[in-house]
Amino acid sequence: MNKIDEMSKITDSEISENVEVTASVIEESFVDAGTKIGPFAHLRPNSKIGKNCRIGNFCEIKNSTIGDGTKVSHLAYVGDAEIGKNCNIGCGVIFVNYNGKIKQKIEIGNNVFVGSNCNLIAPLKIEDNVYICAGTTVTNNLKENDFVVGRARETIKPNRAEKYLKNYHKKDDEQI
């Protein structure tokens, strides 16, 4: 039995059995059995969500296929993508699929972990069993069992904030 709350809007879509939809929008999409959507998720046209998936708070899925058991838990954008089974797409992950002229595809294999706050820049192919550390921007294809971390070390400059904050603290009636 499905649980679809009154705050959800579903148009021209197919919803399988035992699906939960909470305060979300689903348009021209397919959601397979046992999947939980929302709250505040948006499945845009041509989204295909597999069995026992989780599409969580403030996630947007567009023109993408999500494999069985995959979780896109919160604050993520997945566009023009194919994601395999049993993957984790962390908080704040962005599938960067548009370069200003064309939309390109991102393919992710099975059992891939994408940590929080990552950018995946299309076109991109990520094979099975890859681990992407939080805060990484990925621009190169990744092979099976790759581990990738792409962070710059922070630079701390003591006593410099005042220079950058001086205009921030002006009153509303003062011109910045």
Average pLDDT, stretch 55-81?
A: 98
Whole-number Cα distances in Å, 87 to 4, 10, 66, 132, 169: 25, 25, 9, 11, 44
The string of pLDDT tens digits covering residues 91-149 is 999 999 999 999 999 999 999 999 999 999 999 999 999 999 999 999 999 999 999 99
Angle at 100 between CA 45 and CA 105, to 5 degrees: 50
Do the domain assignments include residue 171? Answer: no
**Res. 168: pLDDT tops 90:** no
Assess if residue 172 is contained within a domain. no
Q: What is the pLDDT of residue 48?
A: 98
Structural domain tally of the chain? 1
Coil, strand or helix at 57: strand
Distance, CA of 92 to CA of 27 (rounded, Å): 22
Q: What pLDDT, on a 0 to 100 scale, did the predictor assign at position 172? A: 56
How far apart (Å, rounded) are the C-alpha atoms in residues 174 and 15?
Answer: 55
Residue whose tokens read 């959800």: 8
170 located within any domain? no
Q: Residue 111: give the domain boundaries.
A: 3-165
pLDDT per position as a tens digit, 30-58? 999 999 999 999 999 999 999 999 999 99
Task: Give φ, ψ of 165 to 5 degrees.
Answer: -95, -10
Spatial contact of 92 and 108, defined as CB atoms under 8 Å apart: no
What is the mean predicted confidence (pLDDT) over 56-84?
Answer: 98
Q: Which of the 8 DSSP states describes residue 33?
A: T
Confidence (pLDDT) at 127:
98
What positions carry a catalytic annotation? 74
- Residue 173 lies inside a defined structural domain of this protein: no
Domain with 28 in it: what CATH number?
2.160.10.10
Separation CA 163–CA 128 (nearest Å): 47
In a domain, 24, yes or no: yes
Mean confidence (pLDDT) of the chain: 94
Q: Higher-confidence residue: 20 or 159?
A: 20
Residue 176 lies in a domain: no
Instruction: Report yes or no on 52 lying in a domain.
Output: yes
**SS3 of residue 58 by DSSP:** coil
